[in-house]
Amino acid sequence: MGHVRRDYGMVLAWAAGTLAVDQAAKWAVSRWLGPGESVGVAGRLIRLTHVTNPGAAFGLFQGRQELFVAATLLVFVLAVVMAGRVGPKSGLALAGLGLAAGGAAGNLVDRLRTGSVIDFIDLSVWPVFNLADTGIVVGVALLFWYLVRHHAPAVSAEGDSRSRS
């Protein structure tokens, strides 16, 4: 039972860290750049551009706050359920759960506070995003990797499926 508490603690630590770093970065961008202002960080490759997004990725679902709150609550419920199931040797999966939950929380805080999300990482070839979005994407990628690696059936040379345990 001790490993379950440790697992939840690890998820919570990753979520809290992701939320804190995301909110600190958004605070700094809001303080130093006015809406629409942009400054180069790595030449033309990376810019900090202060924009707000009342919708989801790519500006979808604008004005649907109830949808975003429900999606964030779903992420939290899934993180709690999965943290109890992935086991004590799955640090990357637990980190993934925490990153996704912390990222969802970071964007939810913005939505509840201002009605929109603060975005600022501008790669010029992709819509502007933030550290919460990065946490969600990296977290989901880690979870996907864990699930494929630990729960997909292995195929032997003879072509039969065998479970990896």
User: Does some domain include residue 158?
Assistant: no
What per-residue confidence (pLDDT) applies to 15? 95
The question of whether 160 is a catalytic residue gets the answer: no
In a domain, 157, yes or no: no
Q: Give the C-alpha separation, 75 to 144, whole Å.
A: 15
CA 57, CA 132: separation in Å to the nearest integer?
12
According to the model, what pLDDT value does residue 53 have? Answer: 86
Report if residue 163 sits inside a domain.
no
Question: Residue 96 domain-assigned?
Answer: yes
The Cα 76–Cα 98 span in angstroms is 9
Q: What is the pLDDT of residue 153?
A: 60
Residue 165 lies in a domain: no
Has residue 164 been placed in a domain? Answer: no
Predicted local confidence at residue 165, as pLDDT: 45
**Residue 162 resides in a domain:** no
Structural domain contains residue 123: yes
**Structure token digits, residue 18:** 């992701």
- Catalytic annotation on 7? no
Selecting among 7, 22, 119, 122, the annotated active-site residue is 119
Count of structural domains, the chain: 1
Catalytic residue among 7, 22, 110, 133: 133
Q: What is the pTM of this model?
A: 0.80
Q: Which domain holds residue 126?
A: 2-152
Going residue by residue through the chain, which has 165 residues, state the pLDDT in tens, using 9 for 90 and above: 455 577 788 889 999 999 999 999 999 999 999 999 999 988 778 999 999 988 766 566 666 777 877 888 888 788 777 777 776 668 888 999 999 999 999 999 998 898 889 999 999 888 899 999 999 999 999 988 888 887 656 555 555 554 444
Q: Which of 9, 14, 160, 39 is nearest to 92 (CA)?
A: 14
